[in-house]
């Protein structure tokens, strides 16, 4: 496992395949007990009050000095129609190639500006992997990082919170 010096503290941090990772959409933490009874959260899927629908996904960021990506583990909000389509085709050998519009549903606290609400597209990769989310706005540091890639030192600093 690769260890890289962190940009924030200078200490070595491990970079694994999947790092900073959220087990719920942020909004799930704010709902009332009553609404929670009418909602469902699993490892991969979440619906809130039959009104809002979320899919657990990864947000890949290329590391320019390594041959692989850093991955944030995040939730993406999608329409009810797309949610149902994803549930139905998840296990297919060749999932639908359609690009699914979605909205990032977690605030990754590394970034100064909030990341929740950023728009992008969800791509279903194969049945053994979580869908991948690609941002389609470029006015945010996270979007620039995904588009241009980052140094492994910056990727290590994404993991800084895990070491505090
Ligand atoms: Zn650090």
Q: Where are the domains of the chain?
A: 3-163
Q: 7 C-alpha vs ligand 1 centroid, how far in Å?
A: 7
Q: 162 C-alpha vs ligand 1 centroid, how far in Å?
A: 8
Identify whether the C-beta of residue 66 lies closer than 8 Å to the C-beta of residue 4. no
Which has the closest alpha carbon to 121: 59, 49, 28, 69?
59
Q: 111 C-alpha vs ligand 1 centroid, how far in Å?
A: 14
CA separation for the pair 48, 34 (Å, rounded): 11
Q: 143 C-alpha vs ligand 1 centroid, how far in Å?
A: 22
At residue 19, the pLDDT reads 82
130-164 confidence digits (pLDDT tens): 899 999 988 899 999 999 999 999 999 999 888 76
At residue 51, the pLDDT reads 97
Q: 68 C-alpha vs ligand 1 centroid, how far in Å?
A: 21
Lowest mean pLDDT among 22-26, 65-69, 102-106: 65-69
């Amino acid at each position: 496992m690769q260890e890289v010096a962190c940009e924030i503290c200078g200490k070595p941090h491990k970079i694994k395949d999947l790092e900073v990772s959220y087990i719920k959409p942020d909004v799930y933490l704010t709902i009332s007990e009553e609404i929670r009874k009418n909602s469902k959260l699993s490892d991969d899927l979440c619906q809130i009050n039959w009104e809002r629908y979320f899919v657990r996904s990864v947000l890949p960021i290329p590391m320019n000095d390594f041959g692989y990506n850093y991955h944030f583990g995040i939730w993406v909000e999608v329409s009810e129609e797309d949610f149902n389509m994803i549930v139905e085709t998840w296990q297919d050998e060749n999932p639908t190639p359609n690009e699914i519009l979605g909205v990032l549903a977690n605030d990754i606290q590394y970034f100064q500006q909030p990341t929740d609400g950023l728009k992008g597209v969800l791509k279903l990769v194969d049945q053994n992997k979580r869908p991948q989310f690609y941002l389609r706005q470029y006015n945010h540091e996270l979007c620039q990082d995904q588009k241009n890639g980052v140094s492994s030192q910056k990727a290590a600093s994404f993991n800084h919170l895990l070491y505090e």
